[in-house]
Amino acid sequence: MKNVDTRIRIFDTTLRDGEQSPGASMNVEEKLIVARQLAKLGVDVIEAGFAFSSPGDFEAVRRIAHEVEGPVMCSLARCKHEDIDAAWGALKGSSKPRIHTFISTSDIHLLHQFKLSREEALRRAVEMVERARGYLDDVEFSAMDASRTEPEYLYEMIEAVINAGASTINIPDTVGYALPETFGALIKGIKENVHNIGKAIISVHCHNDLGLAVANSLSAAINGARQIECTINGIGERAGNCSLEEIVMIFKTRKDLLGLDTGITTEQLYPASRLVSSITGIMVQPNKAIVGDNAFAHESGIHQDGLLKDKSTYEIIRPESIGLSRSTLVLGKHSGRHAFKARLADLGYDIAGENLDKAFERFKALADKKKEVFDEDIEAIVQDEVLRLDLPERYKLLRLYVQGGTDAQPNAEVTVEVDGKAITAKGAGDGPVDAAYNTIAGIVKTRSRLLKYSVNAITGGTDAQGEVSVRLEEDGNIVLGQGSHTDIIVASAKAYINALNRLEYKKKDKKEMLVL
């Protein structure tokens, strides 16, 4: 009997396409933490970045590929020799390297954007796959905008790059234009018309512009794709990518019908979702499938009644199967360092040494102020005390004093360290946060614009920590800053300073434009 391949490879691109979400840029330390969680989750491939695009990306790919064990480690590369060489430069010496090279194949892209003939695109693709094969065995090729490419040309391209040595062929729905039926038919067409397709795995990479990324990926799998490219929480360029947790739970929950498996440890899905949301500052919508706050909350009386009688009445997924069983109350003022470290590890943060000391010290101070310390508090502490350690801090908040209220004109006095020198200034504003921000902006002389300011109580109660997120823009660079504190004005100032430091980092590590 013919051996049927029922294993879907999960290719995670949270650190590459996911990082292309506006404001989601992560520093190297943050990427390493996410990569370790992805390895725990059991993804087959981690796309760690686009090595040629910036020194920061190169370093992230290099460190992840060398320091994280388990999955295949991959760098994106355009069909350009400098990209292929940079990808190899970052990956060489690691245990399971892959180069993922891509070129557009649709006439819309070739004619209007790249001014490239079909023949020239095919020649470059073959040449660059061969160049990558000169370095390593595992080469993936993507036909960008495949879903809007004339099928006959797509078949020709795929056949040629497989002959050149590509062993994974990725079919992106780059602009999220496909429908499940047409996308499934495209995959079927490739299987039927590309003579050497048996030598490669078909992969898909679907964007979510019409909200169909998961449905299109599923349809592709039903029609023979065996690798799915996806991201945690579905983050990514524009409306994002196929959501990893959704596609994985579809295969698990409907194994009866689909007969397909992944190698994912689903109990790590919820911690992974929390980790990525906390690091990127991109909130998960409450009604999001699988990992949203309401995904397992039953409101109606009829549903609650059914659940009390038998869980199967209204629950198709057990919350524990995605790692949601634990109690939300974790630690308090009597908890020791060991318990704190264990809780951090459960949340996906493997932190030791000096970083652990700092985080534990801050935890103790918080536990003294608050009776109960929740997971969200711990995540905020890690954000504040550990993750930003890797961010070069040009600016540091040293002191903040604000005055406000019903009768006083809000004003602030702030001391900020700028390049090692403490500068103090006074300023006023419409409210205490505005006063603090105006004063800080004056000290650091920023040209940035505040696009968004939001404050959240991390947990319930008036003693809760406030978590502030701000989005800043300068010359097209968008960054997100976060800060937390039991005093929301201090949290606001910390978030602003964090964003200003990220802006400095981003300006230095400017990514190359994707131009073929």
Sites of contact with ligand KIV (CB under 6 A): 17, 102, 142, 144, 170, 172, 174, 205, 207
Least spacing, CB of residue 442 vs Zn ion, in Å: 41
Least spacing, CB of residue 202 vs Zn ion, in Å: 17
Residue pair 233/245 in contact by the 8 Å Cβ criterion: yes
Q: If contact means CB under 5 to 8 A according to the sort of partner, which of Zn ion, ligand KIV, none does residue 482 touch?
A: none
Binding mask 405-434 for Zn ion (x = CB under 5 A): ------------------------------
Q: If contact means CB under 5 to 8 A according to the sort of partner, which of Zn ion, ligand KIV, none does residue 414 touch?
A: none
Least spacing, CB of residue 246 vs ligand KIV, in Å: 18
Least spacing, CB of residue 364 vs Zn ion, in Å: 43
Q: If contact means CB under 5 to 8 A according to the sort of partner, which of ligand KIV, Zn ion, none does residue 142 touch?
A: ligand KIV
φ/ψ of residue 273, rounded to 5: -65, -45
Residue pair 414/440 in contact by the 8 Å Cβ criterion: yes
142 or 262, CB closer to ligand KIV? 142
71 or 432, CB closer to ligand KIV? 71
H helices of 48-179, in order, are 55-67, 81-91, 107, 118-133, 151-164
Q: Residue for token digits 């969200």?
A: 376
Least spacing, CB of residue 40 vs ligand KIV, in Å: 25
CA distance 112 to 22: 25
Q: If contact means CB under 5 to 8 A according to the sort of partner, which of ligand KIV, Zn ion, none does residue 102 touch?
A: ligand KIV
Using CB atoms within 10 Å of the CB of residue 308, give its burial: 0 to 12 exposed, 13 to 18 middle, 19+ buried: exposed
DSSP 8-state assignment for residue 422: E
203 or 273, CB closer to Zn ion? 203
CA distance 166 to 126: 9
CA distance 244 to 240: 11
Q: If contact means CB under 5 to 8 A according to the sort of partner, which of Zn ion, ligand KIV, none does residue 144 touch?
A: ligand KIV
Residue 140 in the binding site for Zn ion (CB under 5 A):
no
CA distance 379 to 166: 41
17 or 384, CB closer to Zn ion? 17
Least spacing, CB of residue 473 vs ligand KIV, in Å: 24
φ/ψ of residue 26, rounded to 5: -115, 150
174 or 278, CB closer to Zn ion? 174
97 or 271, CB closer to ligand KIV? 97
17 or 30, CB closer to ligand KIV? 17
Least spacing, CB of residue 82 vs ligand KIV, in Å: 17
Q: In one letter, which amino acid is 49?
A: G
Residue pair 159/195 in contact by the 8 Å Cβ criterion: yes
Residue 17 in the binding site for Zn ion (CB under 5 A):
yes
Which of these, 233, 267, 276, lies nearest to 34 by C-alpha position? 276
Q: Taking contact as CB under 5 A, which single stretch among the options 17-25, 369-377, 416-424, 439-447 is the one that binds Zn ion?
A: 17-25
Q: Which helix (H) or strand (E) element contains residue 142?
A: strand 139-144
Least spacing, CB of residue 125 vs ligand KIV, in Å: 13
Residue pair 180/218 in contact by the 8 Å Cβ criterion: yes
174 or 227, CB closer to ligand KIV? 174
Q: Taking contact as CB under 5 A, which single stretch among the options 9-17, 360-368, 445-453, 455-463 is the one that binds Zn ion?
A: 9-17
CA distances from 244 to 31, 75, 151, 322, 497 (A): 17, 19, 28, 12, 33
Angle, in degrees to the nearest 10, between helices 118-133 and 151-164? 30
Applying CB under 5 A, the residues found at the interface with Zn ion are 17
